[in-house]
Structure 1
Amino acid sequence: MSVLTGIGSKKVNMAKKNPIHYLFKAIMGGLYLGVAMILSYTLGALFIDSPEISKLLIAFSFGIGIILILFLGAELFTGNCLTTTIAMYQKKCTIKELIPSWFLCYLGNMIGIVFICVLFIWSQASNPLYDNFLRNINVAKLDYNVIEVFLKAVLCNFIVCIASYAGVKIKDDTAKTIIIFFVIAAFVLPGFEHCIANFGTFALGIAKYGTAIDWSGIPLHTLASTLGNMVGGAFLFATPMYFLLKSEEKEVATSE
């Protein structure tokens, strides 16, 4: 638990003492995730006539974004819900310190992924590929039930935090990479909701289609997916993990 606590408290302290630096690390996290989205959606669009292959390619290529964030030292809001919550449980930070760090990370991620996705559409690269593909994704995402979006988001960040924890626990880089790819595919393939990735999806759609699609459902969708991600990371995963690690530490102390 000391490792997770240390990581979490370091993030909160960075956000408090050097917010601009922390914001830019979060922006880089958004950029890396945007790169993964461009790759995965382009692969998916190439196989639009084979939906099963398209979904598999999207699911198993999106993990490169999490790999880049972990290996290159950027910040991701959803993964930080785990480590910073553990730090709060360990009294290394307060909730008043935690919330601003989450806000800065969320804002930076949003800026990064929206910027690179809009830039991609404006570049006209692979433009014909995306005509029906992006429209179908955005229209389907905006035809939603709020409770379902929330629950999909809870499950999404539970899985993302498993990947984040694997990144901390597993030392071998090759094993770490392989496992994270498969774990991330476990949330992408069923269509769970990742609030930061959704910013990228909507940014791609708005930049390409403008007012041709009704975007009025974005705010409520974003609220539901964000709250769901927070619950999935900070409570569904971090809370039982805290008690598990605390129990293990007690057992080690007793045996000594």
Structure 2
Amino acid sequence: MSTVCTLSRRTFLLGATAALAGCTTAQTAALKAPVPQKVSYPIVPASDEELAARYAAVEDGGHLIPAIPYRQIDPKYYRQRVKDPTGEPAGTVVVDTASRFLYVVEPGGTAMRYGVGIGRDGFAWEGEGVIQWRQPWPRWKVPDDMIKRQPHLARYSVENGGMDPGIKNPLGARALYIFQNGKDTLYRLHGSPEWKSIGKATSSGCVRLVNQDVLDLYKRVPYHARIVVHQAAIA
């Protein structure tokens, strides 16, 4: 839920067409990494080749997602399998806002960890809920309280139908909607075109991932998955 990224589709097409041809297959394979049923230690970090494939340009749902310049991101925020620090049951999604990590707990004592951007002070949320709804290439429908703070976003209100899906949409390639006690919290796990925001507190309450990571997350998290959001560091 941030300002709209001003990526130029024409510039991207000129620079990324060649990369798309070579990287889409590798990216698809990376998204299907198996979940281990038995832990093997040490857990080895991804190689440069694996990272290049993981964050390569990819076409999804008719949209061209640019490659992520992952070398400009702190390596601790790369998507990676780690020893589970949460103590939660397998299948639980855990957000550690203090450390800027999101975990999907796996069987056997591991978790898939993602680097995230979180809400600014005063907009952060914590508690326990469920992933009530999941949406590929969602529309961004700005809530009324956000429009009060930023009136120029009124054209993307619920009444006006929101912003069309696409690369410039702040919700990115996927959105997972957090409910608590049967009610929409208005907070989301979602993709973002703004890779520079990972590891920072810049959005209006939501938990954002780079689009390549949210594609992977979406495959791992089913409807009604339990989610726990912590403000204090857990690891």
- Report TM bin, short chain: under 0.3
Higher relative contact order (CA closer than 8 Å, sequence separation 6+): 1
More strand per residue: 1 or 2? 2
- Could you say which structure has the larger radius of gyration? 1
Structure with greater helix percent? 1
The alignment's TM-score, normalised by the length of structure 2, stands at 0.28
Give the TM-score normalised by structure 1: 0.26
